[in-house]
């Protein structure tokens, strides 16, 4: 099983990171993928990867919530990192219209810029979409030249949105929201194309039931998998095998 989206380099894990990784391995989590957020997250992310090289793999990108008036300078610094270190993806990138629309134009520019990096380097992208699936799909349709691939992380949309995402060749990242009674996913998950599904936690955020509201961690990926299995009427092993294969293929984890 693979947690394809975990911020275990965050300060919330500073007191017990080794135990968090150990618990994940005990639950059968073989890989933990680390998305970058901004300039400040790079050092702790790479330090975490270095501490657990058999488990953790890093991405590089600028999260839309950290796009501001200095976005060109910030992206210039982030782009230089690709020449210094091997990364498995460009991420996490995208559009966020939930918190603040002040820098919407800059967000779109940053998103397209980073999509172009992914094309140039032949890397998948990890996309953050909050209140922005339609806007993101519109930009992706413009930019898709057949080489773009990746995942809409923390997917909580409709069957129709899932199909539109899959039609562009993109995966769906299912996390804690899939276990929420009010998450709206109970009727969606049985209809998803499982060849495009991968698992994630987005820890320390969005812990699945029964830990909702507490700190999330990679070990809880198995709770997401269990809920997906229940909703689809299949075994946990089937969900594990297929989603692990999907993640290995998407991120080239061989």
Q: pLDDT tens-digit profile of 175-217?
A: 999 999 988 999 999 999 999 999 999 999 999 999 999 999 9
Cα separation, 8 vs 12, whole angstroms: 8
**Burial category of 154 from C-beta neighbours within 10 Å (exposed 0-12, middle 13-18, buried 19 and up):** buried
Domain boundaries, the chain: 2-251
Cα separation, 164 vs 238, whole angstroms: 25
Which helix (H) or strand (E) segment holds residue 199: the answer is strand 197-199
How do residues 138-154 score in pLDDT, each as one tens digit?
999 999 999 999 999 99
Mean pLDDT on 46-57: 99
Q: Which of 238, 207, 195, 210 is nearest to 12 (CA)?
A: 207
Mean pLDDT on 208-233: 98
Q: Is the pLDDT of residue 101 over 90?
A: no
Ligand-binding site membership of 202 (annotated): yes
For position 163, what pLDDT does the model report?
98
For position 194, what pLDDT does the model report?
98
The helix/strand/coil state of 90 is strand
Ligand-binding site membership of 153 (annotated): yes
Q: Percentage of residues in the chain with pLDDT exceeding 70?
A: 100
Q: How many beta carbons lie within 10 A of that of residue 35, not counting itself?
A: 26
pLDDT-based confidence at 254, cuts 50/70/90? confident
Query: What rounded mean pLDDT belongs to the chain?
Result: 97
For position 66, what pLDDT does the model report?
97
Q: Which residue would you say has higher pLDDT here, 102 or 221?
A: 221
Cα separation, 56 vs 12, whole angstroms: 17
DSSP bridge partners of 33: 57
pLDDT-based confidence at 99, cuts 50/70/90? confident
Q: Is the pLDDT of residue 233 over 90?
A: yes
Residues 6 or more apart in contact with residue 156 via CB below 8 angstroms:
177, 183, 184, 185
Ligand-binding site membership of 85 (annotated): no
Phi, psi for residue 92 in degrees, rounded to 5? -100, 140
Which helix (H) or strand (E) segment holds residue 173: the answer is strand 170-174
Query: Topology of domain 2-251, per CATH?
Result: TIM Barrel (3.20.20)
DSSP bridge partners of 171: 151
Q: Is the pLDDT of residue 100 over 90?
A: no
Q: Per-residue DSSP letters for 136-163?
A: HHHHHHHH-SS---EEETT----HHHHH
Mean pLDDT on 78-93: 98
Q: Is the pLDDT of residue 19 over 90?
A: yes
């Amino acid at each position: 099983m693979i947690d394809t989206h975990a911020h275990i380099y965050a300060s919330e894990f500073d007191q017990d990171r080794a135990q968090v990784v150990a618990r994940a391995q005990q639950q059968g989590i073989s890989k933990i993928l680390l998305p970058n957020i901004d300039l400040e997250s790079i050092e702790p992310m790479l330090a975490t990867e270095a501490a657990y090289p058999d488990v953790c793999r890093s991405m590089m990108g600028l999260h839309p919530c950290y796009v501001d008036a200095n976005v060109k300078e910030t992206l210039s610094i982030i782009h230089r990192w690709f020449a210094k270190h091997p990364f498995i993806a460009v991420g996490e990138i995208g559009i966020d219209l939930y918190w603040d629309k002040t820098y919407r134009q800059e967000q779109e520019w940053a998103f397209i810029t980073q999509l172009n990096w992914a094309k140039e380097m032949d890397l998948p992208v990890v996309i953050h979409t909050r209140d922005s699936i339609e806007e993101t799909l519109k930009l992706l349709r413009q930019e898709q030249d057949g080489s773009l691939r990746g995942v809409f992380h923390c997917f909580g949309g409709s069957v129709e949105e899932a199909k539109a995402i899959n039609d562009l060749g993109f995966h769906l990242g299912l996390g804690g929201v899939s276990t929420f009674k009010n998450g709206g996913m109970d009727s969606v998950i049985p209809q998803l194309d499982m060849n495009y599904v991968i698992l994630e936690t987005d820890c320390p955020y969005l812990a699945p039931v029964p830990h909702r509201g507490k700190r999330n961690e990679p070990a809880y990926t198995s709770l997401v998998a269990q809920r997906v299995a229940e909703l689809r009427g299949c075994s946990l092993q089937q969900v594990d095998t297929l989603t692990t294969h999907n993640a290995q293929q998407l991120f080239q984890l061989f």
